[in-house]
Chains A and B, each alone.
Chain A
Amino acid sequence: MQWIYKRFRFLFSSTKGLILMGIAFAALISALFGMLSGPMADYGIKDVVIRALKMNLDPAEREGRLIVLYHTLAMIVVAVEVYMITDLLKMKDGQRLTINSTITVGYLMVIFGGLPFAYWGHNWAFHGIYIAGLSLIFFAGCMLLVALWPWQKAYQLTDMTYAHTKKGFDMERIAFFAMALTTLISAIFGAIPGSYFGNGFTAFLAENVVREPHKLALDLSVIGHLHIMLALICIAAALIIGRWMDFKGNLHKIAMPLYTAGTIILSMGTWLVVSFEEIAHFIIYGGSTLAMLGALFLVIFSWDKLIRTGLAEKGLKKGNFFQRIAALVRDPLKFGATWQMVFMNFTVSGVGIFTAVKLDEIFRQWQIIDELSILTGHWHILGTLMATILLLYYADLAGLKGKARQWFGWLVIIFSDVAFGAVTIYEMRRLFVIEAEQQPLLNRTTIAGDIGLGVLLLTLAAIMVWRLIDLFKKKGYWANEIEERLTKKDEVAK
């Protein structure tokens, strides 16, 4: 009994255990439900999975199923980020415990309520569990907001190398607070149309209404919701990675106000989509530019730091170009987390901006089925890229060292980027090839995408199996991680 208790304590109460469990659930769900679409369906694997698991996939409910699946995965990622935030930022132990336990119960209810409801027939009691889970996560977010309140004396900075206000309040905490506040408000923009359209089971995917000239306010609300929620999850990840890198100094002092302003302006832009669609886009461009500039400063800081520390390890003060590159890439986990942010510009931000600028001239000349390919690919890449960033951070937290660290890091970076690059070409294929001659391009990009994502999932599986085996050891990593924190910072009064 003690054996089980100790492991449960690790998985359900320690930050690293909670993160591990979240990643394991996300990996399992991605692997299982990924077999129901795309190339896996072509190869006939979908049919086998449906039969083996006795799934009940009514064609009329496909959109509803996808919405539940996307929310399930998103809630796990949100939970993982919250675990990181509650550990990285100062707060009372009681607050940390309450927030973490609430969001854990919430996402587990989302998984075990939503997926059976969506994929194994309608028992509406399961739908109720799913909604209750989402509500708990929202409630955990409210508690997080209270815990993050930045204008408390206990959280005033003593180390002035970090961004701070004149009175010494932590600007980074303000950025986290702004992110949490706007996330909660943005969630409402999904919850209201969700309630409206869900009442009668009239689910639709936002990409399907993009060409409607007169969209309902609730349609626009859904479109705004999905964009801002993904953007805010990314901003949260950038802030978290900044903590990991110990982002500080002048760049930190510039970046934190940019993050805060960017978060607020970007969010307001997406909320305004509901009533002022045309103006809203300009506000969104402004907000996202500010937030992306913040991320750029993080990249500059972390690459400079990696180079400096790498050269110092070799006893060099100023290396030549190749020595500096070697120093930069010597730790694929730390380099990879910010490299993926840079790569995101080629596969997500750049593509998004190009599409927006050339919308009428190019993309609206195509049939909508081809435009949908871009929209769907766009946020699939964004979501998965962001997940790889958190994964690289987790690998560091899990204690990957030496060759295993090198293998894991480089496999994740190279093969995820191969996959994302291939998917980017796939989604934009009409720019390069006409419909009648697209098959060879589709084949190449599909195989490259499959290999990339396959290796990524196998790499993830390897780390999960390693940690699973570790759980069976009496004095495995888990035993130390029960009490370990992500940050060494002092706690405030309990």
Chain B
Amino acid sequence: MKRLLITLLVLTFVLTACQKVDFQSAPPVFETNIDPSSWTVIPAGPFLQGQFNEQVSIDYDYEIMVTDVTNAQYAEFLNAALADGSAILNNGQIEGYYAGDPFSGTRHEVEIAAGNYIYIPVGDPYLKLNFDGSAFSPKDEWANHPMTMVSWFGAKAYCEYYGWRLPTEMEWEKAARGTDGRPYPWGNEIARNNANYYSSRDPFEDMSRYGSRTTPVGFYNGSTYNGYETINSASPYGVYDMAGNVWQWTANIYDSQHYRYMRGGSKDVYENNLRVWVRNNATPTFTSPGVGFRCVR
């Protein structure tokens, strides 16, 4: 018995043994032919919101970006914002001014007072941007991937810089599911080649080494990439990546809490978190390789 126990324990150790992992290994490069600067109109009218299909209505038309904001787009914004002083480099991070939240002192609530707040951590190895001391540029293979490691402040600043804004949760959800109450942007069921999620086996992930990574924006459009066949997974309004890839910051600021909400699931979570009503939240200064955003106008 002792021998078997030792064998099983050794086997456990061997199977779980350490292996040097290159987290920065280059990803494959694919062109998705989806234009990240394109927008689509979401018409005014009712839709079914939330897990239990509550009938609600948005009484105005609005436009939403067809894809998440890319690294290339965000680098362009940073250069412009640094040039005109609306963003500054301070202590290894890009920061900008925020006018503050109402504060009610509720238990666990943290005050977000007026002041400068982080947009991105410049030195972070997982930021997919280069910085030469004066200008940003996207890392070559990552230019058409969603911008990540960006805080809520950084996302909001990007949208507002161009006269746009972050979507409210309601706007985001309508753009993602249309009006028929579907749980995923493309319909009722999820397959591995519908979206980028944990262990979805896309060409960018290697679960035995570095895990899941972002896919280029608009990747799941029905194209085949080096033999990897995707399903066209746009929402009823033609919006891509509304499930998986990266969580997306939304605009709402709720009473008695400092958390900001994200929607859509990401490359790092299981498929149940890709259902359109699932919410994630974090402090507005939170940055992550699994969090990005898009804008509305």
Chain B interface: which of A250-258, A315-323, A440-448, A484-492?
A440-448
Interface bin, chain A = 35 or more
Q: What distance in Å separates the Cβ of B188 from its nearest Cβ neighbour in chain A? A: 7
A residues 257-286 touching B (CB-CB < 8 Å): 278
The reply on B109 being an interface residue by CB < 8 A is yes
B residues 258-281 touching A (CB-CB < 8 Å): 259, 262, 268-273, 275, 280-281
Neighbour of B8 across the interface among A212, A365, A366, A455, CB < 8 A: A455
A440 and B19: CB pair below 8 A? Answer: yes
Neighbour of A59 across the interface among B183, B247, B255, B280, CB < 8 A: B183
Check A62/B272 contact, CB under 8 A, given A403-B1, A443-B207.
Answer: yes
User: In the complex, A406 Cα to B259 Cα: how many Å?
Assistant: 52
- Could you give, for residues 171-206 of chain B, a 1 whenever the CB lies within 8 Å of some chain A CB and a 0 otherwise? 000000000000110001110000000110000000
User: In the complex, A63 Cα to B108 Cα: how many Å?
Assistant: 26
The reply on B252 being an interface residue by CB < 8 A is no
B18 and A440: CB pair below 8 A? Answer: yes
Neighbour of B283 across the interface among A365, A410, A442, CB < 8 A: A365
B51 and A437: CB pair below 8 A? Answer: no
The chain B residue sitting closest to A366, CB to CB, is B282
The reply on B106 being an interface residue by CB < 8 A is yes
Neighbour of A406 across the interface among B1, B125, B188, B190, CB < 8 A: B1
The chain A residue sitting closest to B189, CB to CB, is A59
Neighbour of A438 across the interface among B51, B211, B271, B283, CB < 8 A: B211
Residues of B within 8 A of A211 (CB): 108, 257, 259, 281
User: In the complex, A80 Cα to B11 Cα: how many Å?
Assistant: 35
Q: What distance in Å separates the Cβ of B109 from its nearest Cβ neighbour in chain A? A: 7
A439 and B257: CB pair below 8 A? Answer: no
Q: What distance in Å separates the Cβ of B50 from its nearest Cβ neighbour in chain A? A: 9
The chain A residue sitting closest to B276, CB to CB, is A59
Q: What distance in Å separates the Cβ of B195 from its nearest Cβ neighbour in chain A? A: 13
B residues 138-186 touching A (CB-CB < 8 Å): 183-184
Check A447/B15 contact, CB under 8 A, given A59-B272, A436-B126.
Answer: yes
User: In the complex, A367 Cα to B264 Cα: how many Å?
Assistant: 14
Residues of A within 8 A of B125 (CB): 436
Residues of A within 8 A of B110 (CB): 360
Residues of A within 8 A of B207 (CB): 42, 439, 443
Check A214/B1 contact, CB under 8 A, given A367-B280, A418-B12.
Answer: no
Q: What distance in Å separates the Cβ of B249 from its nearest Cβ neighbour in chain A? A: 11
B residues 112-148 touching A (CB-CB < 8 Å): 125-126
Residues of A within 8 A of B5 (CB): 410-411, 414
The reply on A41 being an interface residue by CB < 8 A is yes
User: In the complex, A359 Cα to B109 Cα: how many Å?
Assistant: 12
User: In the complex, A270 Cα to B262 Cα: how many Å?
Assistant: 31
The reply on A451 being an interface residue by CB < 8 A is yes
User: In the complex, A366 Cα to B183 Cα: how many Å?
Assistant: 26
Check A59/B273 contact, CB under 8 A, given A214-B256, A368-B282, A447-B15.
Answer: no
Q: How many residues of B contact A (CB 8 A)?
A: 58
Q: What distance in Å separates the Cβ of A225 from its nearest Cβ neighbour in chain B? A: 21
B1 and A213: CB pair below 8 A? Answer: no
The reply on B21 being an interface residue by CB < 8 A is yes
Residues of B within 8 A of A37 (CB): 270
User: In the complex, A66 Cα to B140 Cα: how many Å?
Assistant: 44
The reply on B52 being an interface residue by CB < 8 A is yes
The reply on B288 being an interface residue by CB < 8 A is yes
The reply on B103 being an interface residue by CB < 8 A is no
- Could you give, for residues 400-437 of chain A, a 1 whenever the CB lies within 8 Å of some chain B CB and a 0 otherwise? 00010011001100110010000000000000001111
The reply on A201 being an interface residue by CB < 8 A is yes
The reply on A469 being an interface residue by CB < 8 A is no
A369 and B52: CB pair below 8 A? Answer: no
User: In the complex, A367 Cα to B266 Cα: how many Å?
Assistant: 12
The reply on B290 being an interface residue by CB < 8 A is yes
Neighbour of B21 across the interface among A62, A434, A439, CB < 8 A: A439
Neighbour of A448 across the interface among B16, B53, B107, B268, CB < 8 A: B16
A residues 329-375 touching B (CB-CB < 8 Å): 359-360, 364-369
A447 and B282: CB pair below 8 A? Answer: no
B126 and A451: CB pair below 8 A? Answer: no
User: In the complex, A300 Cα to B189 Cα: how many Å?
Assistant: 54
The chain B residue sitting closest to A403, CB to CB, is B1
The chain B residue sitting closest to A41, CB to CB, is B270
The chain A residue sitting closest to B24, CB to CB, is A436
Neighbour of B1 across the interface among A60, A410, A443, CB < 8 A: A410
Residues of B within 8 A of A442 (CB): 211
Neighbour of A439 across the interface among B12, B209, B288, B291, CB < 8 A: B209
The reply on A98 being an interface residue by CB < 8 A is no
The reply on A202 being an interface residue by CB < 8 A is yes
B108 and A360: CB pair below 8 A? Answer: yes
B275 and A436: CB pair below 8 A? Answer: no
The reply on A200 being an interface residue by CB < 8 A is yes
A435 and B289: CB pair below 8 A? Answer: yes
- Could you give, for residues 21-33 of chain A, a 1 whenever the CB lies within 8 Å of some chain B CB and a 0 otherwise? 0000000000000
User: In the complex, A277 Cα to B182 Cα: how many Å?
Assistant: 37
Neighbour of B210 across the interface among A200, A212, A414, A439, CB < 8 A: A439
- Could you give, for residues 6-32 of chain B, a 1 whenever the CB lies within 8 Å of some chain A CB and a 0 otherwise? 001101100110110101000000000
User: In the complex, A410 Cα to B4 Cα: how many Å?
Assistant: 11
Residues of A within 8 A of B77 (CB): none
B12 and A447: CB pair below 8 A? Answer: yes
User: In the complex, A410 Cα to B269 Cα: how many Å?
Assistant: 35
The chain B residue sitting closest to A208, CB to CB, is B279
Residues of A within 8 A of B269 (CB): 369
Residues of A within 8 A of B268 (CB): 435
Check A368/B188 contact, CB under 8 A, given A201-B52, A455-B8.
Answer: no
Q: What distance in Å separates the Cβ of A440 from its nearest Cβ neighbour in chain B? A: 6
Residues of A within 8 A of B51 (CB): 60, 63, 202
B106 and A213: CB pair below 8 A? Answer: yes
The chain B residue sitting closest to A359, CB to CB, is B108
Residues of B within 8 A of A447 (CB): 12, 15-16
The reply on B208 being an interface residue by CB < 8 A is yes
User: In the complex, A302 Cα to B198 Cα: how many Å?
Assistant: 46
Q: B residues within 8 Å of A by Cβ?
A: 1, 5, 8-9, 11-12, 15-16, 18-19, 21, 23, 51-53, 106-110, 125-126, 183-184, 188-190, 198-199, 207-212, 247, 254-257, 259, 262, 268-273, 275, 280-283, 286, 288-291
8 additional contacts (CB under 8 A) given A214-B106, A447-B15? A278-B107, A364-B283, A365-B283, A367-B280, A368-B259, A369-B273, A436-B23, A447-B12
Q: A residues within 8 Å of B by Cβ?
A: 37, 41-42, 59-60, 62-63, 200-202, 211-214, 278, 359-360, 364-369, 403, 406-407, 410-411, 414-415, 418, 434-440, 442-445, 447-448, 451, 455
User: Which 10 A-B pairs have CB atoms at the shortest separation, nearest pair first?
Assistant: A439-B211, A444-B16, A59-B183, A213-B256, A367-B282, A42-B199, A436-B126, A213-B257, A436-B289, A213-B106
Can you list 7 A-B contacts with CB-CB less than 8 angstroms, sorted by A residue number? A63-B51, A202-B52, A211-B257, A213-B257, A439-B212, A440-B209, A455-B8
